[in-house]
Amino acid sequence: MPQVMLAEFGMAALWVAAALALLQFALGVAVLRQNRDDLARTIAPLAVAQAVLCGLAFLVLMVLFLWSDMSVLLVATNSHSEKPWLYKFAGTWGNHEGSMLLWVSILGVAGATIALFERALRADTKIATLTVQAAIALGFYVFLLFASNPFARIVGVTEGQGLNPLLQDPGLAFHPPTLYIGYVGMSAAFSFAIGALITRDVTPSFARAMRPWILGAWIFLTIGITAGSYWAYYELGWGGWWFWDPVENASLMPWLAATALFHSVTVLATRDALRTWTIMLSCVAFSMSMVGTFLVRSGILTSVHSFAVDPKRGIFILALLTIYIIGALVLFALRVGTISEGKRFEPVSREGLLVINNLLLSVILVVVMVGTLYPLALEAFTGQKISVGAPFFNATTGPLALALVAFMAVGPLLRWRHDEGRAVIRRLAVPLLVSALTMVAVYVFAGKASFLPAMGIVVAAGVAVASVAPLWKRNLARTPLFTWGMVIAHLGCAVSIAGMAADSAFMKEALVPMRVGDTRSIGDFRVTFEDVAQVPGPNYDALQATLRAETSNGDSMVLKPALHRFSTPAMVTNEAAIRTFWNGQLYVVLGDERPGNVWVVRMWWKPFVTLIWLGGIMIAGGGFLSLIGRVRRNVPGGKAKRRLAA
Amino acid sequence: MKRSWVFWLPVAVAIAMFATFLVALVRPSDRAIVSQLVGHALPAFEAPAAMPDQPGTNSRDYADGKPRLLNVFASWCGPCVAEIPVLLQLQAMGVEINGVAVHDKPEDLARFFAENGNPYARVGLDQGGRAQIAFGSAGVPETFIIDGKGRVVGQHIGVITEADIPDILAKLKGS
C-alpha cells in the first residue's frame, strides 16, 4: 500500500521544518546582535523553506484523513470511513493535533509572505520581524513534536470513532481555518511590533508597512466571527445568534483588540502620534489571539467547543504563552523609553475621536475578558463555580457598544489635528435629526420595546446616515478605495446593530404541541403541521416533519425541520428549517414526540435578523476594500508609477 | 513619564492571568464532583421566593418524606425553554418539581412562565449563583432527583427529554 510510509514522511517534514525555524531564529539573532550582515540574505529563503515543509506535513495529514488510514491514531480517533469526504477533509483540523498543525502551517505561510512580498519595511526591521516569527513557530514545533504528535501510529484498529455530529456541517469545515488565519495574522502584526522595538524603528513608515497585515488578520477574524455566529444560529436550533460562550468570547477579544489596533496604527501612519499605544496594542492583540487559542485548545473550558485533552498539553501551551507574551511585555516596558514621543493633537480632532474609539474598545475588551475569565479564576482559587452568562454581558457591553458606534460615526467627519466644535455639530445635524425622528417613530410604533434595543435602533439610524456622510459632495470616482472601505465597514456596523436591536425588540416566539393537521400562527404566518416521516441520511437517520406556512397575502411555503440521529458517536442533533424574507426569518425547530402523536414545535419570527450577518459581511468587505487600497499605495511601482506613465 | 511603572502593569496583569490558568489546569477535574453528590444529602442552600404567589425553596424543604425534583434553570437559557413541556408532563404525572432560577429577575421569570408555563411547586431565586455553586452544577439546565430523606439519588445534566421520563420516575419510585 502506498500510504504505508506517508505518516512517517509527514513527521520527517515537520522535524526538518522545526530545524529550519531554529536556524532562522539563530541566524536572525546573529545578524541583529553581531551585525553579521553577510548572513542577512539567508533569512528570507529559510522562512520560505520552513513554510513549504510545514505545509507539506499538513497536506500529508489531510491525505491520511481522506484515505481513512486507521493505522494513524489521530485518524482512528476522529474519523470514520463512512463519513462524507468533506468531513473527512475537514476532520483534518477538527481535532487538537490537526488544528495545532494547521496553526503552525498558517504561521509559516505568514512568515513566507512577509519574506517574499514585504518591501515597505526597513531591511533590519524585516529581519527582526522574521526572527520573532521563527521564535514563535519554534515553540509550536516543539509542542507538536513532543506533546502533540499528529502522526502517531496505532496497531489493530480497523474503524474510526467518528466526528462530533454537531461539527459535521459544511459551514463549520471552514470556520476554524478562517479564525486561525485571523489569530495567526495577529502574530505577524506582533512580530512587526517587536521587530520595530528591537531595531528602534517605530515610525509612520513602519506603521504603513504593518497596517495591511493587521487589516488582513482583522478581516479573517471578522469573517470567522460572523460565520461562527450564523453557524450557532442555524445549527444549535436555539434561535440565538450569540451565546457569550467562552470560546465565542475568545474570538471576540482578539477582534476588539485588532479593531483598536488598526485604528491606532492609522493614527501613527497618518499623523505620527500614538506610537507607544500602537506597540502596546500589538502586544495585546497577539496576547488575546494566543489566549484564544489556549482557551480552546487546553481543555480548560467546558462548552459546546470543548475538546477533551490531557492537562499536560494545556501546561505546555501555557508555558509558550508565558514566554512569548510576558517576554514581549517586558521588552516593551524596557524599550518604551526609546520610542520617542509622537506628534500632539487637540482633543477635538480625528485623532481625539480615534483615542475615544480605542478607549471604548479597550473597556469592552476588559469587560468581556473579566466576564470570561472571572468564573475561571474563582473556580481555580476557591473551587466555587459560578456562571456569568448572557445577562452580565448584554447589560455591560450593550451600552458601551452603542456609545462606540456613535463615536465611530462622528470620527470620520472630523479633521485631523484640530477641529471646531460648532462646525462638528453642524456636520452632525442631519444624523442627529434622523436619530431624533427614529426615536419618535420607535416611541409611537413600538412603545413597549425595552430600552437597550430601542436605543440600538435609534443609534443605528443616525450612525447609518453619518457613516455615508464622508462621501458627501465628493467626487465618487476619485474617492480612494480605503475611504470607500471605511464607509462600507462603518455602515456595516450600523446595519448589524439594527439587526440585533430589531431581533431583540420585535422577535416573536412560540412553543406549541402539534398534531398532524393542527394550525398555529406566529407573526404574520399560519403554520400547519402536515406530516412527519423517517428519512435515511448518509450517516444518520432523520425524523423529518413537513409544515406549511401561509402568509396573510396568500403566499405559501413548505418547511422541513428534522431530528438527526447519529450512530457513531451516538447523538441527536436538531436541524432547524429556516425561511428568509426581506424583513426577517421564519425559524422552525422540531422537538420531542409526546404521547398521542403530538409533536412539540418551536417557532420564531425573527424580524431583520439577517441584518446582523449582512452587517458582518459589510464590515469584512469594507476591510477588504481598505486593504486593497492600502496595498496598492504601498507597493512600489503600483499607483504612483502608473500615474507617472500616464 | 516614559519610564513610568505604568508600562509594567501589563506584565503584572499577564502574570496574574497565566498564574490563574495554571491553577485552573492543574486542579483536579471538577467533573468528578457531579457523581459524588449522588448518594449524599442535598447541600445547604437558600433560594428566596422569586414570584409573589409562590414560595421560595431551601435545603430544609426536602426531608419531609416526599421524593421530588429540583430543577436548576434560568429564563435567559434557551435549552431551559425546551425542557419545560417535559417538566409540565412530569408535573401532570404527580411529580413535584421545585425550581431554582440562576442569575434571574422576577420580571423576566414572570414573562418566561407566561410564555412557557410554570411546572414548579416552588421557585427560588439564586442571586449570585450561590445555590448553583452548592450543587456543583456546571450549567443550566440541570436537575436533581431527591428522595424523601433529602438525599440526592440522581442528577441529570442538560435538557430533560421525553426519553428520560421513565428513568426519572424509576429513580423517584426507588427512593
Q: Pick B2's closest partner by Cβ from A315, A337, A388.
A: A337
DSSP letters spanning B115-140: HH----SEEEEEGGGHHHHHHT--SS
Which residues in A552-626 belong to E strands, given as ranges? 556-559, 562-566, 571-575, 577-581, 584-594, 598-607
The better pLDDT of the pair B25, A303 is held by B25
Which of these ranges, A225-234, A488-497, B126-135, has the smallest mean pLDDT? Answer: B126-135
Inter-helix orientation angle A275-297/A350-382, to 10°: 30
Q: How far is CA A70 from the centre of its chain?
A: 33
State the average pLDDT for chain A: 85
**Residue A107 near residue A136, CB atoms below 8 Å:** yes
Residue A195: its pLDDT value, please? 92
pLDDT band at A426 (very low <50, low <70, confident <90, very high): confident
Which contacts qualify for A328-331: CB closer than 8 Å, 24 or more apart? Answer: A328/A190, A328/A194, A328/A283, A328/A286, A328/A287, A329/A283, A329/A287, A329/B10, A329/B11, A329/B14, A330/B11, A331/A194, A331/A197, A331/A198
Residue A629: its pLDDT value, please? 87
Residue keyed to cell 480548560: A300
Task: Report the candidate in B8, B127, B154, B27 with the shortest Cα–Cα distance to residue A280.
Answer: B8
Angle at A211 between CA A210 and CA A216, to 5 degrees: 105
Which residues of chain B does A341 touch, with a Cβ-Cβ cutoff of 8 Å?
A: 2
Average pLDDT over residues A494-503: 94
Residues for chain A: how many in total? Answer: 646
Q: What residues contact A137, with CB distance under 8 A and at least 6 apart? A: A21, A50, A54, A104, A107, A108, A111
| A533 Cβ under 8 Å from any chain B Cβ | no
A528: helix, strand or coil: strand
Which of these ranges, A11-20, A461-470, A567-576, has the smallest mean pLDDT? Answer: A567-576
Distance CA A52, CA A351 (A): 42
- Give me A252's grid cell: 471576540
CA distances to A139, A379, B155, B157 from B144, rounded to whole Å, are: 45, 22, 5, 9
Q: How far is A340 from chain B (nearest CA, A)?
A: 9
* Closest chain A CA to residue B88: A594
Which contacts qualify for A519-522: CB closer than 8 Å, 24 or more apart? Answer: A520/A601, A520/A603, A522/A586, A522/A603, A522/A604, A522/A605
Distance CA A208, CA A213 (A): 10
**Sign for the pseudo-dihedral over CA of A219, A224, A229, A235:** positive
The better pLDDT of the pair A234, A635 is held by A234
pLDDT for residue A645 is more than 50 = no
**Sign for the pseudo-dihedral over CA of A297, A302, A305, A310:** positive
pLDDT band at A191 (very low <50, low <70, confident <90, very high): very high
Which of these ranges, A54-63, A418-427, A484-493, has the smallest mean pLDDT? Answer: A418-427
Q: How far is CA A18 from the centre of its chain?
A: 28
| B36 Cβ under 8 Å from any chain A Cβ | no
Cβ-in-10-Å burial (0-12, 13-18, 19+) of A364 comes to buried
Task: Report the candidate in B165, B159, B152, B141 with the shortest Cα–Cα distance to residue B93.
Answer: B165
pLDDT for residue B136 is more than 90 = no
Q: Pick B82's closest partner by Cβ from A243, A385, A591.
A: A591
Residue A463: its pLDDT value, please? 93
The better pLDDT of the pair A355, B78 is held by A355
Distance CA A399, CA A456 (A): 9
A29: helix, strand or coil: helix
- In a mutational test of the B interface, the residue from A313, A323, A385, A396 whose CB has the highest number of chain B CBs within 10 Å is A385
Cβ-in-10-Å burial (0-12, 13-18, 19+) of A452 comes to middle
Distance CA A581, CA A566 (A): 32
CA distances to A138, A513, B146 from A243, rounded to whole Å, are: 35, 26, 31
| B12 Cβ under 8 Å from any chain A Cβ | no
pLDDT for residue B84 is more than 70 = yes
pLDDT band at B29 (very low <50, low <70, confident <90, very high): very low
Written in H, E and C, the secondary structure of A333-383 is: HHHHHHCCCCCCCCCCCHHHHHHHHHHHHHHHHHHHHHHHHHHHHHHHHHC
Residue B156: its pLDDT value, please? 82
Q: Do B138 and A376 touch (CB under 8 A)?
A: no
* Closest chain A CA to residue B115: A510
DSSP state, residue A478: G
Distance CA A497, CA A456 (A): 6
Angle at A494 between CA A489 and CA A500, to 5 degrees: 120
Distance CA A493, CA A501 (A): 12
**Residue A51 near residue A20, CB atoms below 8 Å:** no
pLDDT band at B3 (very low <50, low <70, confident <90, very high): low
Which of these ranges, A41-55, A313-327, A488-502, B86-100, has the smallest mean pLDDT? Answer: A313-327
Q: Pick A326's closest partner by Cβ from B7, B11, B116.
A: B11
Task: Report the candidate in B156, B121, B120, B159 with the shortest Cα–Cα distance to residue B135.
Answer: B156
- Give me B173's grid cell: 419510585
Q: Pick A385's closest partner by Cβ from B76, B77, B132.
A: B132
Average pLDDT over residues A95-104: 87
Kindly state the percentage of chain A with pLDDT values over 70.
Answer: 91
Residue A634: its pLDDT value, please? 62
Q: Pick B133's closest partner by Cβ from A311, A332, A384.
A: A384
Distance CA A526, CA A588 (A): 12
- Give me A369's grid cell: 475578558
Distance CA A467, CA A370 (A): 31
Which residues of chain A does B17 touch, with a Cβ-Cβ cutoff of 8 Å?
A: 291, 373
pLDDT band at B93 (very low <50, low <70, confident <90, very high): confident
Q: Is the peptide bond before A569 cis (omega within 30 degrees of 0)?
A: yes
Distance CA A211, CA A217 (A): 10
pLDDT band at A306 (very low <50, low <70, confident <90, very high): very low
Distance CA A637, CA B36 (A): 70
DSSP state, residue A550: E
Which residues of chain B does A388 touch, with a Cβ-Cβ cutoff of 8 Å?
A: 103
Cβ-in-10-Å burial (0-12, 13-18, 19+) of B63 comes to middle
What is the per-residue burial (b if ≥16 Cβ within 10 Å, else e) of A343-362?
eebeebbbbbbbbbbbebbb
Task: Report the candidate in A411, A403, A274, A275 with the shortest Cα–Cα distance to residue A353.
Answer: A411
Number of helices and strands (H, E) in chain A?
20, 10
- In a mutational test of the B interface, the residue from A300, A379, A512, A603 whose CB has the highest number of chain B CBs within 10 Å is A379
**Angular region, A637: left φ>0, alpha ψ -120 to 50, beta rest:** left
Q: Pick B132's closest partner by Cβ from A377, A387, A593.
A: A387
| B43 Cβ under 8 Å from any chain A Cβ | no
Q: How many CB atoms within 10 Å of residue B18? A: 18
CA distances to A175, A176, A303 from A170, rounded to whole Å, are: 9, 12, 21
State the average pLDDT for chain B: 82
ipTM above 0.90, yes or no: no
Which residues of chain B does A594 touch, with a Cβ-Cβ cutoff of 8 Å?
A: 85, 89, 162
Tens digit of each residue's pLDDT (9 = 90 or more) over A153-182: 877 666 666 666 666 666 667 777 888 889
Distance CA A148, CA A138 (A): 14
**Phi, psi of B40, deg, nearest 5:** -110, 165
- In a mutational test of the A interface, the residue from B6, B7, B21 whose CB has the highest number of chain A CBs within 10 Å is B21
Q: Do A377 and B24 touch (CB under 8 A)?
A: yes
Which residues of chain A does B18 touch, with a Cβ-Cβ cutoff of 8 Å?
A: 318, 321-322, 325-326
pLDDT for residue B28 is more than 60 = no
Query: Any alpha helices (H) in A471-609, and if so which ranges?
Result: 481-506
Average pLDDT over residues A434-454: 86
Residue A2: its pLDDT value, please? 44
Q: How far is A107 from chain B (nearest CA, A)?
A: 23
pLDDT for residue A466 is more than 80 = yes
Distance CA A223, CA A202 (A): 30
| B70 Cβ under 8 Å from any chain A Cβ | no
Tens digit of each residue's pLDDT (9 = 90 or more) over B31-47: 434 456 777 888 888 88
The pTM is what?
0.79
Q: What residues contact A15, with CB distance under 8 A and at least 6 apart? A: A145
- Give me A146's grid cell: 513532543
